[in-house]
Structure 1
Amino acid sequence: MDLVRAVVLGIVQGLTEFLPVSSSGHLILIPALFGWDDQGLAFDVGLHGGTLLALLAYFWRDWYVMFRTGLADLARHGARVSNWRTDTRLLWLLALGSLPAGVVGFLFNDWIEAHVRQPWLVAIMLALMGTVMLLADRLAANRRPIATVGMTDALIIGVGQALALVPGVSRSGATVTAGLARGLRREDAVRFAFLLGTPAFVGALLLKSADLAALSGTEARDMLVGFATSAIVGFAAIHFLLRWVRTRSLLVFVLYRYAVAILALAIGAYRIA
Structure 2
Amino acid sequence: MDYLQAIILGLVQGLTEFLPISSSAHIKIVSELAGWGEPGATFTAITQLGTELAVLIFFRKDIGRIIGKWFRSFGSKGGSHSAGIQKGDPDVRLGWIIIIGTIPIVIAGFLLQHYIRDQLRSMWIIAIVLIVFGILLGLADRLGRRTKTVADVTYRDGLLIGLAQMLALVPGVSRSGASTSMGLVLGYDRPSAARFSFLLAVPAVFGSGLYETYTALTCKVAEDATCGQGYGLGPTVAATVIAFVVGLAVIALLMRYISTRSFLPFVIYRILLGGVLIALLSVGILQS
TM-score (norm 1): 0.94
Corresponding residue pairs, total: 273
In the alignment, the residues of structure 1 paired with residue 119 and residue 211 of structure 2 have an alpha-carbon distance, to the nearest angstrom, of 18
Taking the TM superposition and a 5 Å limit, the aligned residue runs for 1:105-116 are 105-116=109-120
Does 1:53 pair with 2:16? no
SS of the aligned residue for 2:121 comes to coil
Deviations 1:63-90 (A, max 9, x none): 1111222233332658999822111111
Structure 1 stretch displaced more, 82-91 or 135-144: 82-91
- Which one of the candidate residues 156, 161, 178 is aligned to 1:157? 161
Letter of the aligned partner of 2:201 in structure 1? G
Whether 1:36 and 2:49 are equivalent positions in the alignment is no
- Structure 1's unaligned 5+ residue stretches are none
Aligned CA distance change for structure 1 residues 15 and 272 (closer, same or farther; 3 Å): closer
- Cα gap change, 1:153 to 1:247, in 2 (>3 Å): same
The corresponding residue for 2:205 is 201
Aligned to 1:64: 64
Partner of 1:221: 234
Task: Render the CA deviation track for 1:25-64: whole Å, top value 9, x for unaligned.
Answer: 1111111112221111111111111112111111221111
Q: Give the alignment partner of residue 141 of structure 1, picking from 120, 123, 145.
A: 145
2: distance between equivalents of 1:10 and 1:267?
Answer: 24
Name the counterpart of 2:225: none
For 1:179, which of 179, 183, 202 is the aligned residue? 183
Q: In structure 1, how many angstroms separate the alpha carbons of the residues matched to 2:100 and 2:83?
A: 15
Cα offsets for 1:103-138 (capped at 9, x unmatched): 100111111001111111001110000001000000
Change (3 A) 1:272 1:8: closer
Give TM-score scaled by structure 2 length.
0.90
Match of 2:224 in 1: none
8 A Cα contact 1:164 1:174, kept in partner: yes
Match of 2:5?
Answer: 5
Q: Give the partner amino acid of 2:34.
A: F
SS class of match (1:74): coil
CA-to-aligned-CA distance 1:230-256 (integer Å, 9 cap, x gap): 001111111111111100000000001
- Which structure 2 segments of 5+ residues have no match? 222-229
Distance in 2, Cα, partners of 1:76 & 1:128:
50
Instruction: Look at both structures and tell me which one has the larger radius of gyration over its CA atoms.
Output: 2
- Partners of 1:159 and 1:81 in 2: how far apart? 28
Task: Select between 259-268 and 39-48 the one with higher mean Cα deviation.
Answer: 259-268
Query: Is the counterpart of residue 19 in structure 1 residue 19 in structure 2?
Result: yes
Q: Distance in 2 between matches of 1:80 and 1:101?
A: 32
Closer, same or farther in 2 for the Cα pair 1:37/1:151, shift >3 Å? Answer: same
Per the alignment, in what secondary structure is the counterpart of residue 208 of structure 1? helix
What's the offset of the Cα at 1:272?
5.0
C-alpha contact (below 8 Å) 1:119/1:267 kept by paired residues = no
Contact 1:7-1:225 at 8 Å conserved across structures? yes
In 2: Cα distance, 1:73 partner to 1:208 partner: 32
Map of 2:227 onto structure 1? none
More divergent stretch after superposition (143-152 vs 51-60): 51-60
Please state if 1:88 is matched with 2:101: no
What is the rounded CA distance, in whole Å, between the counterparts of 2:267 and 2:176 in structure 1? 13
Whether the 8 Å CA contact 1:156–1:178 is kept in 2: the answer is: yes
Residue of 252, 256, 259 corresponding to 2:269: 256
Which whole-Å deviations, capped at 9, do the CAs of 1:141-191 have from their partners, x for residues lacking one? 001011110011001100111001000000000000000011001100000
C-alpha contact 1:11 1:229 (8 A) present in aligned 2 = yes
How many Å separate the matches in 1 of 2:202 and 2:156? 20
Judged with a 3 Å threshold, the aligned counterparts in structure 2 of structure 1 residues 48 and 218 are, in CA distance, closer, same or farther, namely: closer
What is the match of residue 130 of structure 1? 134
Residues 46, 212 of structure 1: 8 Å contact kept: no
